[in-house]
Amino acid sequence: MTATKTAPATDGVRNVLVTGASRGLGLGIARKLSEAGYQVIAVARSKSKAVTEAMAEARRGNHGHLHFAPFDLGNIGELPDLVRNLRQEFGPLYGLVNNAAIGHDGALAMMHNARIEELVRLNTLSPIVLTKYVVRSMMSQGVGRIVNVASIIGFTGYSGLSAYAATKASMIGFTRSLAREVGRVGINVNAVAPGFLETEMTHGLAGEQRQRVIRRSALRRLAEVEDVASAVEYLLGDNARNISGTVITVDAGATA
């Protein structure tokens, strides 16, 4: 019987990189992980007021840490330097949460090629290449956790979101295949697939449109950012050590 490997850390702190963490779901995940005691490195193009406030809260909370690293994830060629610099500054990376994405909508027949290319670049190519360089360092440590943020649209489809759905479906296939590639060296790879969430965006939907979305769910409500963040925290934690290659759906039963 081999001994169970524990995560490498600096001063006992597990470093987790969260992309697209300046607002919305990404920021909610970063907050949740910081509160759980992780040292979170939030990556986004620019530091929002909400990120600044979250960093101050983390310092006052005396639990985990929250740092910010400005970076445009569309710069694929600079991703190796990003990973190298973060490892030099913070130490080994225990976790990676690929959350950053954009969501252009519109009928495929009318969508400009540049928009399609941007979707694929930021939603698929960027997280795959980023994972490539992060997973190399995890393999040298013999431990690590990767969580990809997909979407229920990746397996249900949605009119007007075909290109976006393609990028999210690709992340599910990526998750399952990578889990088989790196599981033998102690790395877990999973995904979460949120449905419509209780956010400012859904509050902006017309009343009847929002109610139709709610009625489609088994629980007759929308899931919340906190629910998805809790699923990510679980997948990064020790209780999920034997879970890999799976997708956790967080949609209040919309796909039940």
CA dihedral 253, 221, 35, 4 (to 10 degrees): -10
Tell me if residue 23 falls in helix, strand or coil: coil
How many angstroms separate the CA atoms of 33 and 158, rounded?
Answer: 31
Give residues with Cβ within 8 angstroms of 187, minimum separation 6: 135, 138, 139, 143, 144, 145, 146
- The label of the residue with tokens 């009847």 reads 208
How many angstroms separate the CA atoms of 64 and 40, rounded?
Answer: 8
How many angstroms separate the CA atoms of 242 and 151, rounded?
Answer: 23
Alpha helices (H) in 108-224, listed in sequence order: 113-120, 126-141, 153-156, 162-182, 200-203, 207-215
Could you say which of 38, 94, 164, 234 is catalytic?
A: 164
Asked if residues 241 and 188 have their Cβ atoms less than 8 Å apart, the reply is yes
Question: Tokens for 173?
Answer: 């296939």
158 is known as an active-site residue = no
**Whole-prediction pTM value?**
0.91
**H or E element that contains 147:** strand 144-149
Domains of the chain with bracketed CATH = 15-250 (3.40.50.720)
Tens-digit pLDDT string for the chain (256 aa): 333 344 444 457 899 999 999 999 999 999 999 999 999 999 999 999 999 999 999 998 877 899 999 999 999 999 999 999 999 999 999 999 999 999 888 898 898 999 999 999 999 999 999 999 999 999 999 999 999 999 999 999 888 889 999 999 999 999 999 999 999 999 999 999 999 887 644 444 556 677 887 888 999 999 999 999 999 999 999 999 999 999 999 999 999 9
